[in-house]
Amino acid sequence: MTQAAIELHNVNKWFDTFHVLKDINLSIQPGEKVVICGPSGSGKSTVVRCINRLEEHQKGTIRVDGVELNDDPQSVAAIRSEVGMVFQQFNLFPHLTVLENLTLGPIKARGLSKDEARAKAMHYLERVHIPEQADKRPAQLSGGQQQRVAIARSLCMEPKVLLFDEPTSALDPEMISEVLDVMVELAQEGMTMVVVTHEMGFARKVADQMVFMDAGEIVEQGSPEAFFGAPRSPRCQKFLSQILQH
Amino acid sequence: MKKYLIIFAPLVLLAGCSSSSTWGWYVINPMTPSGWINVKFLISGMWATILISVIAAVISIGLGLIVALPGLAASRGWRVLNRVYVELIRSIPLLPMLFWVFYGLPIIFREMGVNIPIDPFWGAIITLAISDSAFTAEIYRAGIQSIAKGQTEAAQTIGLNYIQTMRYVILPQAIRRILPPLANQFIYIVKMSAFASVIGMQELTRRANELVVTEYRPLEIYSLLILEYLVLVLIISAGVRWLERRMGSDERS
Ligand SMILES: Nc1ncnc2c1ncn2[C@@H]1O[C@H](COP(=O)(O)OP(=O)(O)OP(=O)(O)O)[C@@H](O)[C@H]1O
Ligand SMILES: [Mg+2]
């Protein structure tokens, strides 16, 4: 077996006294796509945010590409350089153009020249199908376009892993598919992905591993066939029946 | 324009009293040779007032940012440091602080074996800058806090470090919330710079005081002094309003 891309071992986290993550164990192989779902407040975002240290875990270990995440700023920097993240609210930089949004990281954090960064940015804008928007401000784009820019911005850092926290939840229904299409393409190209989403069609199509969380615990975990075909826990059954009704 | 007329009306009225024998506007009447010398003497303090205020403001703008950043840190220790500085500096009246810097600080320097003389010019600037920095620090803090947390997180996930995040992502967005109140704060510095007169700085107020001693015409001379500050502050206010309009129109684009 090759080295896992991401390895969570007995991860626990508290917000003050609130035990938000309880003994989370998760192993993700390179190229694998993991979809995390579960009711609101179950800790999905927190798991994903712990992987790139936007939140700190208090117990257990998290390894990304073999590097353990701890208080050492170098380990945090090393892991962040391998892990990209796409947020529910896009979090594009509103004062910069689309192109500047994409080149900022490569120029400042990676030390690329302006021309190299520009070429890279245009390459990834083409991959998300909006090269013609390069000189606009984020506010001039539709939600779906903004999220695709955010995906391109992450790709410009050439991460080994991409984290998505409900990337389509803030979008109008007619724009969801343009973002999901890009994500499916990425998945087919072999990107390692951890996706928090309730888009079960997407999950069926790309997931190698399904994770269901409730109240800070992983309640059910397995292949999509087993997960959708015969969920074992009642909580997961109830969740799936609710979500698949829509 | 009407507003300005209303402001200046009382002064015009005062000048109208010049016919009465108890008034002595002649001391600052620029039409007479001696009056013109006095007026020139008073107005020549303007440069010192402006210079002190501008240098103090520049220092305060830098110092305020340095003070504000620990106030935004995640760790409690840094935040306490920020609070102690801001609360302490905010509660010291300007005049005692000026005396402490001008008369006290040189003694500390001497004890430390360094010879840094503090003249009225730098004594006034240091005091004004430190006193003002508590306020500019709070302006920065509020401005930076108004930028959503998601911006910092996005910057972190594309590998920017703390300074790069501030420099390229947070401050350029916060600046439109920060600049107008900072410019307003400059008015405070200009007004407070009058205190520099008590340590012998030859600025507007000091000049007026000295002329009052020789001419003994306090009402007329101090009226002109107030007019001088009024003109200065009105010019700065106009600048602030221009800045606010510009920043506001940026936001809409
Ligand atoms: N910074 C914080 N401080 C305190 N509690 C928090 C914080 N962030 C999240 N929580 C709490 O932790 C729990 C898990 O939050 P999390 O955002 O991980 O849930 P989620 O599964 O992503 O939910 P949603 O579907 O609503 O996004 C929630 O009860 C939330 O209120
Ligand atoms: Mg969430």
CA-wise closest residue to B195 among B43, B49, B47, B42: B49
DSSP secondary structure letter of residue B219: H
User: Residue B44 is encoded by which pair of tokens?
Assistant: 């020549």
Residue B185 belongs to some domain of the structure: yes
What residue numbers bound the domain in which B144 lies?
47-203
Q: Say which ligand is closest to the CA of A214.
A: 1
> Looking at the predicted structure, is the pLDDT value of residue B249 above 70?
no
Residue B181 belongs to some domain of the structure: yes
pLDDT category at B54 given cuts 50, 70, 90 is very high
Cβ(B207)–Cβ(B45) under 8 Å? yes
Is the alpha carbon torsion for B202, B204, B209, B214 positive or negative?
positive
Residue A212 CA to ligand 2 centre (angstroms): 13
Q: Is the CB of B66 inside 8 Å of chain A's CB atoms?
A: no
- In this prediction, residue B177 carries a pLDDT of 87
What gap in Å lies between CA B134 and CA B156, rounded to an integer?
29
> Looking at the predicted structure, is the pLDDT value of residue B250 above 80?
no
Residue A163 CA to ligand 2 centre (angstroms): 12
CATH of the domain at B87: 1.10.3720.10
Cβ(B160)–Cβ(B169) under 8 Å? yes
pLDDT category at A1 given cuts 50, 70, 90 is low
Looking at chain A, which residue has its C-alpha nearest residue B148?
A: A91
Q: Which residue has the tokens 């220790």?
A: B77
- In this prediction, residue B167 carries a pLDDT of 95
Residue B85 belongs to some domain of the structure: yes
Residue with CA nearest ligand 1 atom 22:
A45
What number is the average pLDDT over the span B101-117? 90
Q: Which residues contact A77 (CB under 8 A, 6 or more apart)?
A: B159, B161
What gap in Å lies between CA A80 and CA A58, rounded to an integer?
19
Q: Is the CB of A197 under 6 A from ligand 1?
A: no
- In this prediction, residue B253 carries a pLDDT of 40
- Three-point CA angle A191, A194, A200, nearest 5°: 105
Q: pLDDT tens for residues A165-201?
A: 999 999 999 999 999 999 999 999 999 999 999 999 9
Residue B93 belongs to some domain of the structure: yes
Model's pTM, two decimal places?
A: 0.83
Q: Model ipTM?
A: 0.92
Residue B122 belongs to some domain of the structure: yes
pLDDT category at B252 given cuts 50, 70, 90 is very low
State which amino acid sits at residue B106: P
Cβ(A98)–Cβ(A136) under 8 Å? yes
What number is the average pLDDT over the span B81-100? 96
Residue B76 belongs to some domain of the structure: yes
Cβ(B24)–Cβ(B217) under 8 Å? yes
**Number of domains making up chain B:** 1
Q: Is the CB of A190 under 6 A from ligand 1?
A: no
Q: Say which ligand is closest to the CA of A87.
A: 2
Residue A75 CA to ligand 2 centre (angstroms): 25
> How far apart are the CA of A16 and the nearest CA of chain B, in angstroms?
14
Residue B14 belongs to some domain of the structure: no
Residue A45 CA to ligand 1 centre (angstroms): 7
Residue B37 belongs to some domain of the structure: no
> How far apart are the CA of B146 and the nearest CA of chain A, in angstroms?
14
Q: Say which ligand is closest to the CA of A36.
A: 1
Least confident of A86-100, B52-66, B175-189: B175-189
Residue with CA nearest ligand 1 atom 16:
A43
The reply to whether residue A157 touches residue B159, judged by beta carbons under 8 angstroms, is yes
Residues in chain B closer than 8 A to A154 (CB atoms): 157-158
Q: B31 or A91: which carries more pLDDT confidence?
A: A91
The reply to whether residue B157 touches residue A95, judged by beta carbons under 8 angstroms, is no
- In this prediction, residue B1 carries a pLDDT of 61
- In this prediction, residue A246 carries a pLDDT of 62
